[in-house]
C-alpha cells in the first residue's frame, strides 16, 4: 500500500483538492491490489512445462547407446541432470571417454549430435554428451 503524504506545504492554495485526488488514487490502488489477489487465487496450478524424460530402454536411448559404442568405445555411464533453478527441466548425460586427439574427439562429438538429431529430432535435446580425454 502506498502511504499518503502526511503534510502538504501551506503555500499550496488547493490543498483540499490535492488531498481528494490522493484519496481517489489510493482507493484505486487498493482496489487494483485486491483484484490482483483475487485473480492470483483463482489461477489454476500450472502443469510442468516439459514432459517427463523418456525411459532408459526407449528406442532413442538404444540408438544413443549404439552411437556411443561406435564412436567412443569403452565404458559408458548415463546420468540424469537438471537445471538448478528448475528441477523439472531434466536431461540425460552420456559420460564417455576418447583416446583420440582433441580434433578427432570434437569430430566424433559432432557426428554423435548430427546422427542423433537426424534419427530422433524431438528427443535429441534431452541427451547430452560429456567426453573426457584419456
Determine contact, residues 69/128, Cβ cutoff 8 Å.
no
pLDDT tens per residue, range 6-24? 554 555 567 888 888 888 8
Q: Which three cell numbers stand for residue 36?
A: 490482483
SS3 of residue 103 by DSSP: helix
pLDDT tens per residue, range 88-130? 889 999 999 999 999 999 999 999 999 999 999 999 999 999 9
Domain ranges of the chain: 14-43, 59-133
pLDDT tens per residue, range 31-87? 988 888 888 888 776 655 566 789 999 999 999 999 999 999 999 999 999 988 888
CATH topology of domain 59-133: 3.30.1340
Res 77: pLDDT? 97
Q: Which three cell numbers stand for residue 115?
A: 546422427
Amino acid at each position: 500500500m502506498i502511504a499518503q503524504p502526511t503534510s502538504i506545504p501551506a503555500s499550496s492554495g488547493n490543498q483540499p483538492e490535492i488531498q481528494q485526488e490522493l484519496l481517489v488514487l489510493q482507493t484505486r490502488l487498493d482496489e487494483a491490489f485486491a483484484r490482483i489477489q483475487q485473480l492470483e487465487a483463482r489461477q489454476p496450478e500450472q502443469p510442468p512445462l516439459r514432459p517427463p524424460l523418456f525411459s532408459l530402454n526407449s528406442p532413442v536411448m538404444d540408438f544413443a547407446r549404439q552411437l556411443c559404442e561406435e564412436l567412443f568405445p569403452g565404458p559408458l555411464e548415463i546420468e540424469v541432470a537438471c537445471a538448478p533453478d528448475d528441477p523439472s527441466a531434466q536431461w540425460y548425460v552420456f559420460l564417455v571417454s576418447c583416446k583420440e586427439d582433441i580434433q578427432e574427439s570434437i569430430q566424433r562429438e559432432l557426428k554423435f549430435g548430427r546422427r542423433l538429431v537426424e534419427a530422433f529430432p524431438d528427443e535429441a535435446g534431452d541427451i547430452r554428451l560429456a567426453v573426457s580425454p584419456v
